[in-house]
Structure 1
Amino acid sequence: MPEYVGSVLLLLGLLQLKHMFADFYMQTPKMLCGRGEYFHMGRAQHAGIHALGSVLVFLLFQAPVPFILVLCVLEWFVHFNIDYCKASYSDAKQLMPNMAGFWRAVGTDQALHHFTYLAMVWAWMEYAVL
């Protein structure tokens, strides 16, 4: 296997591991309540944890700092809005965990976040790898 393939897989795996911890282990009650309103400080903090985790991952890969800052600000914005759309939709449909629609919303949300990581890895390969 070419060396860069291993690097790509490791980077993607670390971003997914970061995602698991940020989404499922590190959310506070403030981050979880009232998420249907757009300007929600808890959601901003949650997206910030994701962005900070990505900063750490890309620092491990010795990506240039300007690249990291731009990429992670974009990740913050995208993550914030994906979560808002899921919360807004779930609130409008009054979805609960015992409903199939709830899990479709969660699955769509998670897929969009992971597509974001694919885009971030692509950007790393395109703009940061020398």
Structure 2
Amino acid sequence: MLLLTVKHIIADFVLQTSWMAIGKDQKTGWALPLLAHCFVHLAVAMTLILIIAPKFWFVAVIDFLIHITIDRAKGLCTSTFGVTHEHPWFWTLIGVDQALHHLTGFGLSIFMAANG
């Protein structure tokens, strides 16, 4: 869990550029920023997993697929309902997004622990 939490902090906050953060939530032109952001998650996850538990390399791919799904769903909500920093749903969407990412890490950690 700690490994995937560190991965999430690095990929979602340290390495995510404004182009990714803003672009992935747009009505159009969202695909490239979203893919770039999620490939950063894949690269960091794959690197850490290959160092710590290489037999679970495929968990990085699963994390990528779940991450892209969660972020696209958030982007659809943001663009459909015009959610900006001033919108009352802004922090709710951020909170739900982060909770889903952490639950993903929790679930994948349980899987790796049970099959380690």
TM-score range for the pair, normalised by the shorter chain length = 0.7 to 0.9
CA contact (8 A) 2:59 2:108 kept: yes
Q: CA RMSD in A?
A: 1.9
Residues 56-82 of structure 1 deviation map (CA, whole Å, 9 limit, x = unaligned): 222232331xx31x2111111110110
Deviation at residue 31 of structure 1 after TM alignment: 1.7
Normalised TM-score (structure 2): 0.85
Deviation at residue 39 of structure 1 after TM alignment: 6.6
In structure 2, stretches of 5+ residues that fail to align are: none
User: CA separation in 2, counterparts of 1:26 and 1:88?
Assistant: 23
Q: Which residue of 2 aligns with 1:6?
A: none
Q: How many residue pairs end up in the alignment? A: 114
Partner amino acid for 1:35?
Answer: D
Alignment CA distance shift 1:96-1:75 (3 Å): same
Q: Which residue of 2 aligns with 1:23?
A: 12
Normalised TM-score (structure 1): 0.76
CA contact (8 A) 1:38 1:84 kept: no
In structure 1, stretches of 5+ residues that fail to align are: 1-11
Of 43, 46, 54, 1:55 maps to 46
2:69 matches 1:81: yes
Alignment CA distance shift 1:114-1:34 (3 Å): closer
User: CA separation in 2, counterparts of 1:76 and 1:38?
Assistant: 20
Indicate the structure (1 or 2) with the bigger Cα radius of gyration: 1
CA contact (8 A) 2:24 2:30 kept: no
How does 1:1-130 map onto structure 2 within 5 Å? 12-32=1-21, 33-36=23-26, 37=28, 40-64=31-55, 67-68=56-57, 70-127=58-115, 129=116
